[in-house]
Amino acid sequence: MTMLDDPATSAMWPAAYPRGYAVVDVETTGLARDDRIVSAAVYRLDARGDVEDHWYTLVNPERDPGPVWIHGLTTDVLAGAPLFRDVAGEFAERLADRVLVAHNAAFDWSMIAREYARAGATVPTRQRLCTIALARELRLPLPNHKLATLAEHFGVAQRRAHHALDDARVLAEAFRPSLHAAARDGVRLPLLECRPLTEWSDGPAKPLIGHQPTHRPGTWRPSRRLPPSPYPNPGRYESDKPLAQGMRVAFSGDTSVDRELLEDRAVEAGLHVATSVSRKTSLLVTNDPESATSKTVKAAEYGTPVVDETAFTHLLRDVAPAPTAPPTPPPARPVPVPRSDG
């Protein structure tokens, strides 16, 4: 008998826990305020995490679909899909009076809330729960907080990564044992309020997908001590190749996703987050490469590759493992020099 079927768990189920959940995944054209949803999926769960039903839809973003190499949804595929305003009511029915559950819920919530703002409607959910935060509350022994890692921990098979319906299914199956473990151990669920967003755009996409306001002189961010990557630096990022563990990454300027979250995800992926740009820096992440910050100036001087926040976030999904270090050759034996009798 597993803990899911344990009568003791059922008897101790916290009365304060929510009565239902909507496990959500959205695929998008990017991360900025003018980016759009291209597909969405919802698994509705009851109070104990059992699946009630599921729903999936494509969405015509009315713009370039963005990273097709990630979500696989081309302009042709999305051309006949409904607009978000056409599915907003059906989507809302599945969220109504439930806690929105997502992996990195701040992102999914922000994209959903902006779409509803554009449609002139309100999202009918008041709370959200991030499964990354729940995994931390449960102190799960995970090497990182990727969805694939969480799925592997609970023995959930991932069939189509970055497909909204399959990602939502995987998350729903991993959330159920997490919920039961929290109930069993009396863990408080990390619920956050879903506040409507007031900053959004329905204009055309900017040339830089993740563009944010330029760096403002005098702004200051407290530095954080982040663990160095245990892997050797494999060199600079190349645009036709994935990121690789050990690469040194620096950030400059504002980001739409919380900077600390981006830094934590980079560290979890095996990258080294640098506080400055040097000749050893593999990549600079900035939404405004034309700004005259010390990092962008040095990146231009050293020829350091630069990508925006959106591209970096998608690159983080598939970081190449560090290559196995070649065995250290034995020290060369000294060659005896013939002695001369002269």
Q: What is the reported pLDDT for 339?
A: 55
User: What distance, in Å, lies between the first and last C-alpha atoms of the chain?
Assistant: 89
Confidence bin at 254 (pLDDT 50/70/90): confident
Predicted local distance difference test score (pLDDT) of residue 2: 40
Q: What is the pLDDT of residue 326?
A: 42
In the chain, how long is the greatest CA-to-CA distance?
A: 101
| pLDDT higher than threshold 60 for residue 212 | no
Contact 174, 145 (CB under 8 A): no
pLDDT of residue 202: 60
Confidence of residue 30 (pLDDT cuts 50, 70, 90): confident
117 vs 84: CA distance, rounded Å: 11
Q: How many CB atoms lie within 10 A of CB 255?
A: 23
Q: Is the pLDDT of residue 110 over 70?
A: yes
Based on its alpha-carbon atoms, the radius of gyration of the chain, rounded to whole angstroms, reads 24
- The pLDDT assigned to 256 comes to 61
Mean of the per-residue pLDDT values of the chain:
83
**What does the block give as tokens for 262?**
């981006």
Phi, psi of 100 (to 5 degrees): -75, 125
Kindly state the DSSP code that residue 10 receives in the 8-state scheme: H
Tally of CB atoms within 10 A around 49: 21
pLDDT of 170 over the 70 cut: yes
Specify the higher pLDDT residue, 274 or 104.
274
Query: How many of the other CB atoms lie within 10 Å of CB of 249?
Result: 25
Look at phi and psi of residue 208 and say left if phi exceeds 0, alpha if psi is from -120 to 50, else beta. Answer: beta
32 and 209 Cβ atoms separated by less than 8 Å: yes
pLDDT value for 217: 34
Give the pLDDT confidence score for residue 175 in this predicted structure.
98
Q: Does residue 266 surpass a pLDDT of 80?
A: yes
The pLDDT, as a whole number, for residue 56 is: 98
- Asked if residue 213 has pLDDT above 80, the reply is no
Q: Which amino acid is at 76?
A: D
How do strand 127-130 and strand 191-193 relate by DSSP bridges? Answer: antiparallel
Residue 113 — pLDDT band, cuts 50, 70, 90?
Answer: very high
pTM: 0.62
The predicted structure's pLDDT at residue 269: 85
Residue 308 has pLDDT above 90, yes or no: no
| Degrees to nearest 5, angle at CA 256 with 255 and 257 | 90
- Contact residues for 145 (Cβ-Cβ < 8 A; gap 6+): 132, 135, 136, 265, 268
As a whole number of angstroms, the distance between CA 84 and CA 87 comes to 5
The predicted model gives 6-24 an average pLDDT of 79
Distance CA 254, CA 276 (A): 16
